Amino acid sequence: MKNILYSLLITSLLLSSCDEEENLKQAGDIEMNFNLKAGTEDLVFEDETYTNSAGNQFSVSSFWMYISNITLIGAEGTADYILENDYHLIEGSKSISDLVIGLDSVPAGSYNAIRFSIGVDAPTNTDISAIVGELDPARAWNWNTGYKFVSLEGNFFPEGQEARGLIMHIGLDQNYKTLTVDFSNNLNINGGMSNIDFSVDILKMFEGVHTIDFSVTNTIKAQPVESGQVADNYAAGMIQLMN
């Protein structure tokens, strides 16, 4: 009888110790860092010329995109941390560098993937009067068309011709793209600050699923087919995990 009571006492103490350890775990913060690239090199605004897979030479004066609905996926494949209806602007130019998203008070635990979307989901995209997060109606076309999800502007240099403007304004509900990125090692949160580093290769906007030739069109706005091709490309490979 004494042995049974002793075993029960030890089991109770072990369970209590495990519960205390679990309770001691603390929520932490995460910084999502987006590093703008052209291929493997850092993107240089205005002063550098790049060549896409169609052989077009071009420069970039500005780039921005909306990231929304960030979700951290737990070890069991469940959505353990969700930021719904939260919209973040990632923006770069010669004078602007706003490339970090902060996630505060992320519950302690182990996460094996992150899911987020490029763009603005349909319910919000159709009501640009609803100012949520970093949404700005100045970055929308109008009430019917909604927000621009991704914008790249610069110059296109056709061989033997005058330079032309390069304008890529990608929006429309069908171009709202959701990505799931698996971590190479589980992200363990227990207080403090953690970093998730991404590369954003702007060349991938113009290659991969579809080859975009600026000599055919150097301005893409609300054209469904052309904007859809660029969106297919950026969903397929523009954003990659660095760590």
Residue-wise pLDDT for 52-83, tens only, equals 999 999 999 999 999 999 999 998 889 989 98
**pTM for the whole structure:** 0.88
* High-pLDDT (> 90) share of the chain, %: 79
Predicted pLDDT at 127: 86
Task: Say if residue 134 is exposed, middle or buried (CB neighbours under 10 Å; 0-12, 13-18, 19+).
Answer: middle
Which pair of tokens denotes residue 146?
A: 């909604």
Residue 13 has pLDDT above 90, yes or no: no
Residue-wise pLDDT for 206-232, tens only, equals 999 999 999 999 999 989 999 999 999
Which pair of tokens denotes residue 68?
A: 């929304």
Answer whether 106's CB lies under 8 Å from 187's CB: no
**pLDDT level of residue 7 (50, 70, 90 thresholds):** low
CA dist 118 and 132 (Å) reads: 16
Predicted pLDDT at 143: 65
Amino acid in position 124 = T
- In 3-state terms, the chain is what percent helix, strand and coil (to 5)? 20, 45, 30
Residue-wise pLDDT for 108-152, tens only, equals 999 999 999 999 999 999 888 878 899 999 999 876 789 999 999
| Mean pLDDT, residues 44-57 taken together | 98
Q: How many CB atoms lie within 10 A of CB 7?
A: 10
> Mean pLDDT score of the chain, rounded to an integer?
91
Residues 6+ apart with CB under 8 A from 175: 119, 149, 227, 228, 230, 231
Length of the chain: 243
Residue-wise pLDDT for 95-117, tens only, equals 999 999 999 999 999 999 999 99
CA dist 159 and 140 (Å) reads: 33
Residue-wise pLDDT for 155-184, tens only, equals 999 999 999 999 999 999 999 999 999 999
